[in-house]
Chain A
Amino acid sequence: MLRFCIVVVAVMFFVTGCQTNSPKPGKDISFSTSPKPTIESLIENLENSLNDEIMVVAHRGDWRNAPENSLQAIQNCIDMGVDMVEIDIRETRDGHLVLMHDETIDRTTKASGPVKDWTLDSLRTLKLVDGLGVETEHRIPTLEEALLLAKDNILINLDKSYSIFDKCYDLMKKTGTLDQVIIKGAKTRQEVEQEFGKYLDEVYFMPIVRLPHPDAQKTVDDYLENRLPVAFEFTVKYDTIGFIDYFDDIREKGAGVWVNSLWARHNGGHDDEKAALDPSVYDWFIDHQVDMIQTDRPKLLLDYLRSKNLHL
Chain B
Amino acid sequence: MKYFIEISTFLLLLMLCPNHLFGQKTARPTAVANTLNHLQNPSGNYVLVVSHRGDWRYAPENSLEAVQRCIDLGVDIVEIDIRLTKDGHLVAMHDLTVDRTTNGKGKVSELTLAEIKQLRLKNACGVRGSQFQVPTLEEIMLVARDKIMVNLDKTEGETVREAYAVLKKTGTVDHAIFKANNSAQEMRAKYGPLMDSIIYMPKLWYGNKEVDSHLAAYEKDIDPFVYETLFDSKEASTFKLLPQLEKQGDSFLAICLWDALCAGYTDEKAIIEGPDKIYGWVISQGADGIMTDRPELLLEYLRAQGLHD
Instruction: Identify the A interface with B (CB < 8 A).
Output: 26-30, 60, 63-65, 67-68, 107-108, 129-134, 136-137, 262-263, 273, 276, 296
A67 to B126, CA, bound (A): 11
Encode B32-72 as 1/0 by CB contact (under 8 A) with A. Answer: 00000000000000000000010011110100010000000
A136 to B269, CA, bound (A): 11
Partner of A26, one of B125, B271, B300: B271
Given A26-B271, A67-B125; A132-B130 close (CB under 8 Å)? no
Interface bracket on B:
20 to 34
Q: Which positions 103-121 of chain B face chain A at CB distance < 8 Å? A: none
Partner of B124, one of A26, A30, A63: A63
Does the CB pair B297–A132 fall under 8 Å?
A: no
Does the CB pair B127–A63 fall under 8 Å?
A: yes
The 5 closest A-B pairs by CB, nearest first: A131-B124, A26-B272, A64-B57, A26-B271, A131-B125
B26 within 8 A of A: no
On chain A, the residues within 8 Å of B272 by CB distance are 26
Encode B128-172 as 1/0 by CB contact (under 8 A) with A. Answer: 111100000000000000000000000000000000000000000
Partner of B61, one of A29, A131, A273: A131
A60 to B126, CA, bound (A): 13
Partner of B297, one of A28, A136, A137: A28
On chain A, the residues within 8 Å of B57 by CB distance are 64-65, 131
A131 to B126, CA, bound (A): 8
Does the CB pair A132–B271 fall under 8 Å?
A: no
Does the CB pair B100–A133 fall under 8 Å?
A: yes
Partner of B125, one of A29, A30, A130, A273: A130
Q: Which residue of B lies closest to A137 (CB)?
A: B268
Partner of B56, one of A60, A67, A132: A132
Determine which residue in A29, A136, A137, A296 has the highest number of CB atoms from chain B within 10 A of its CB, and name it: A29
Can you give 5 A-B contacts (C-beta < 8 A)?
Answer: A27-B271, A64-B58, A129-B125, A136-B268, A263-B128
A129 to B293, CA, bound (A): 14
Determine which residue in B125, B127, B130, B300 has the highest number of CB atoms from chain A within 10 A of its CB, and name it: B125
On chain A, the residues within 8 Å of B218 by CB distance are none
On chain B, the residues within 8 Å of A64 by CB distance are 57-58, 124
On chain A, the residues within 8 Å of B126 by CB distance are 107
Q: Which residue of B lies closest to A27 (CB)?
A: B271
On chain A, the residues within 8 Å of B258 by CB distance are 134
Determine which residue in A64, A65, A129 has the highest number of CB atoms from chain B within 10 A of its CB, and name it: A64
